[in-house]
Structure 1
Amino acid sequence: MSDRLTGKIALITGAAGGIGEATAELFAREGARVVITDITSARLEKLAERLEGEGAEVLVAELDVSSPTAWEAVVERTRERFGGLDVLVNVAGIVDWPGIEDTGQEAWDRVIAVNQTGTWLGMKAALPLLRASGNASIINTSSVLGLIGSGAAAAYQASKGAVRLLTKTAAVEYATRGVRVNSVHPGVIVTSMIKTILDEQGDRQPDIVRTPMRRAGRPAEIAGAMVFLASDESSFVTGAELVVDGGLTAH
């Protein structure tokens, strides 16, 4: 690798699988010291062992992103272990597929708590350390469903649309305070959650058919976008939407 993140300390949520895991792996290989978090630590320990075997410095922390006290504790552990923070990557998220009338209050509240409130809480808790860095980056994971409607997934789409604009307002607020804030918008990516849906669709796979490149993306392809936004290569990029969707939103 090219050591694009050497010297940077990065905190990544949702690192136990899919996009979060791929991002943690690539960040570590590009030279970052990484704090990997998820709701449970079992799979994180295996990831940490693998990355440490490759020479990376890793801190493992359980984190319920919907809990402000949990965020405060993880940020403090990061400060104690590494002395600061340069990059926050908000990946953790959940999905609920029903539309407006079929979405229950409990499901709605949970999706908003994790995807939307969790992103805000993460920024709020991490910003003192990020501002102290003087050259920091926040990367919030939205979705193509934060850009276009699907006719379903009401809570998920509402939360991802909110993440998009929360990112933009934070970018403006911190543009002269040493923190860039951008959002990444994945299309159909083969994670465990999406693979189940694609398998259920069988040969039809309408989500693939609607994608001009006629395939699903890989988590590693999202991780590459994350590295760009975390690195100094994107030093004049803030408030942007980096869409990685095989052309899905192009038509």
Structure 2
Amino acid sequence: MSALDAFRLDGRIVLVTGASGGLGAEGASALADAGATVIITGRREQKLAAVADRIRATGGCVHTRVLDMTDADAVRSAFGELADTVGPFDALINNAAQAHQAAVLDVTDADWARIVDINLTASFTAAQAFLRRRNTTRSTSIVNISSLAGVIGVRGQAAYVASKTGVVGLTKALAVEVAREDVRVNALAPGYFATDMPGEVLANEAATAALLRKIPLGRVGQPAEIGPALVFLASDASRYMTGAVLNFDGGYTAQ
């Protein structure tokens, strides 16, 4: 196998959660470009359909499923049905997440529970469902999307930081446990990207300028730039990599 062939995903089935927009949508498009049959899930049916149309327009193969990742029973049922109809999974991109900005004393019990549920608990539920219905004939991969907030502290984001740090811990625990079954588990930790999630910061000129001074590359990431990293982690190109956290933040966490 050549170096470039190792990045190909032909014949692989990859499930991407939270793929109705932002980094999830861009990642799904890249995975399809690399040859994967992509299953995309999300709560917004129309946006999910639009992402699927875009993938099909470039010759990609995609299936959609409207799914609330915080409903554990629905997740287990959906993963089982999809594995039966599309085929056993070769990779899972655990991307569904929600941001939360509030001073620590303003974080309510409901806020905390909601953020931890979607960002951390749903990642565990999806990983568990994937492991039950994965392709056992070759190496498979789970990619958990953490954040620079899973590596460093961020003011005003106690619930988000805790949940994304939990994703890093979950990644390492799973990696050690399932490695002998030829399942790799890694985390991708994006920094600031031009998506809706950091919208409040990027909409403020002064806040954006202050942010860019902290990023050595001097800019925020473009959504399409996430795709090649996900292809790497989902493919045989990262066959000897597990339990790792790949910082993808323009150098923010290198300081």
TM exceeding 0.5: yes
Q: Flag structure 1 segments of 5+ consecutive residues without an equivalent.
A: none
* SS of equivalent to 2:186: strand
Q: 1:114 deviation in Å? A: 0.2
2 CA distance for matches of 1:154 and 1:236?
34
Q: Which residue of 2 aligns with 1:113?
A: 117
Normalising by structure 1, what TM-score? 0.95
Q: 1:191 to 1:216 in 2, by over 3 A?
A: same
The structure 2 residue matched to 1:103, chosen from 80, 96, 107, is: 107
Q: What does 1:209-228 correspond to in 2, within 5 Å? A: 209-228=213-232
The structure 1 residue matched to 2:54, chosen from 50, 53, 68, is: 50
Q: Which residue of 1 aligns with 2:14?
A: 10
* SS of equivalent to 1:7: coil
The structure 1 residue matched to 2:204, chosen from 200, 213, 236, is: 200
Q: Which residue of 2 aligns with 1:35?
A: 39
Given that residues 79 and 129 in structure 2 are in contact (C-alpha distance below 8 angstroms), is that contact kept between their aligned partners in structure 1? yes
Q: 1:81 to 1:175 in 2, by over 3 A?
A: same
Normalising by structure 2, what TM-score? 0.94
Q: 1:145 deviation in Å? A: 0.6
Q: 1:204 deviation in Å? A: 5.2
Given that residues 39 and 64 in structure 2 are in contact (C-alpha distance below 8 angstroms), is that contact kept between their aligned partners in structure 1? yes
The two structures, once aligned, show a CA RMSD in angstroms of 1.6
Given that residues 9 and 33 in structure 1 are in contact (C-alpha distance below 8 angstroms), is that contact kept between their aligned partners in structure 2? yes
Q: Which residue of 2 aligns with 1:148?
A: 152
Calculate percent identity across the aligned residue pairs. Answer: 37
One-letter amino acid of the counterpart of residue 153, structure 1: Q
Q: 1:26 deviation in Å? A: 0.5
The structure 2 residue matched to 1:179, chosen from 183, 186, 200, is: 183
One-letter amino acid of the counterpart of residue 25, structure 2: E
Runs of 4+ in 1 over 6 A off after TM superposition: none
Q: Which deviates more from structure 2 when the two are superposed, residues 165-174 or residues 221-230?
A: 221-230
Matched length: 251
One-letter amino acid of the counterpart of residue 32, structure 1: A
Given that residues 131 and 179 in structure 1 are in contact (C-alpha distance below 8 angstroms), is that contact kept between their aligned partners in structure 2? no
Q: 1:78 deviation in Å? A: 1.7
1 CA distance for matches of 2:138 and 2:202?
43
1 CA distance for matches of 2:180 and 2:103?
40
Given that residues 13 and 87 in structure 2 are in contact (C-alpha distance below 8 angstroms), is that contact kept between their aligned partners in structure 1? no
Q: Which residue of 2 aligns with 1:66?
A: 70
Q: 1:54 deviation in Å? A: 2.4
1 CA distance for matches of 2:205 and 2:152?
21
Instruction: Give per-residue Cα distances to partners, 1:151-210, cap 9 Å, x unaligned.
Output: 220000000000001000000001110210000000111102223321124475322210
Given that residues 232 and 238 in structure 2 are in contact (C-alpha distance below 8 angstroms), is that contact kept between their aligned partners in structure 1? yes
Q: Flag structure 2 segments of 5+ consecutive residues without an equivalent.
A: none
Q: 1:219 deviation in Å? A: 1.5
